[in-house]
Amino acid sequence: MIDLHFHILPDLDDGPKTIEESIQIARKVAEQGINTIFATPHHKNGTYENPKQKILQRIKKFNSRLKKEGIPVNILPGQEIRIFGEIVKAYENGEILTLNETPYLLIELPSTHMPSYTNQVLFDLQLMGLKPIIVHPERNADLLNDPDKLYELVKQGILTQLTAASILGDFGKKIQRFSHDLIEAGMAHLIASDAHNLKTRPCRLRDAYEFLERNFGVEARYYFQENAELVANNQTVFVGQPERIKRKKFLGLF
């Protein structure tokens, strides 16, 4: 399995603080059948700044340590970028890191709202040939209250990545239901763990895939797993026709 969104590098953000903790996490996820992890430290989120070269250097060292430990997990470079107005300029200046140098890049919105410049920034990134992936849209209050905002972005070719724990209900029933609605509406394209540690934010990717197979059918599991492989291999992901989520689904159900 491939995990596209993981905070596994030590002492860069709110993930593991020590190399020993990172090694322990890698050993645990290898037992779950995950063999490829995209290390995606936070960047420009108001607390952490992890530019491209810094991440690349840390990944090289971490992969060497994993090999020495005999842990069969390959770490690939990535970055979770909080959307900001100068992101295109930052990319041109070599600060922004896409997923393993592919056109795909992870874009995070603030949890409370969608900034007014979001559509323009995403469009500008697309004009450069990049493929923005909005991470955990199900945990954004603005999108949850007005799913049409996400629908319009997806119609314009923006991809989305749900968090495994959201699908399983770890963030509450409301977020879980919205996650399921996004899957049913064709507005979800990828699933990743967004893991930070082994206790409060563990990797639940395998659990999410098994949940999908039980509740949405084996085709749904294959769809998301294959899309992760396509991103990792710099190929075009499968995208269906999105549908609007009816407002009645959000009334009185939680």
Is residue 77 within 8 Å of residue 100, measured between CB atoms? Answer: yes
pLDDT band at residue 247 using 50, 70 and 90 as cut-offs? low
Mean pLDDT to the nearest integer, 151-164: 98
**Reading across the β-sheet that carries 131-135, which strands appear in turn?**
42-43, 80-82, 104-108, 131-135, 159-163, 190-192
CA 87 to chain centre: 18
Give me the DSSP letters along 37-86. EEE--EESSSS----HHHHHHHHHHHHHHHHHHT---EEEE--EEEP-TT
pLDDT tens digits for range 74-114: 999 999 999 999 999 999 999 999 999 999 999 999 999 99
Enumerate residues 6+ apart whose C-beta is below 8 A from 13.
Answer: 7, 41, 42, 47, 48, 50
Report the alpha-carbon angle 246-237-103, nearest 5.
110
| Among the listed residues 45, 131, 109, 38, the one whose alpha carbon sits nearest the alpha carbon of residue 78 | 38
CA–CA separation, 9 and 15 (whole Å): 7
Domains defined for the chain, CATH in brackets? 2-250 (3.20.20.140)
- SS3 state of residue 3: strand
pLDDT score at 253: 41
User: pTM of the entire structure?
Assistant: 0.95
Tell me the average pLDDT of the chain.
95
Is residue 1 within 8 Å of residue 33, measured between CB atoms? Answer: yes
Position 166 pLDDT exceeds 50: yes
Enumerate residues 6+ apart whose C-beta is below 8 A from 40.
Answer: 4, 5, 6, 7, 78, 79, 80, 99, 106
CA–CA separation, 170 and 184 (whole Å): 19
pLDDT tens digits for range 189-220: 999 999 999 999 999 999 999 999 999 999 99
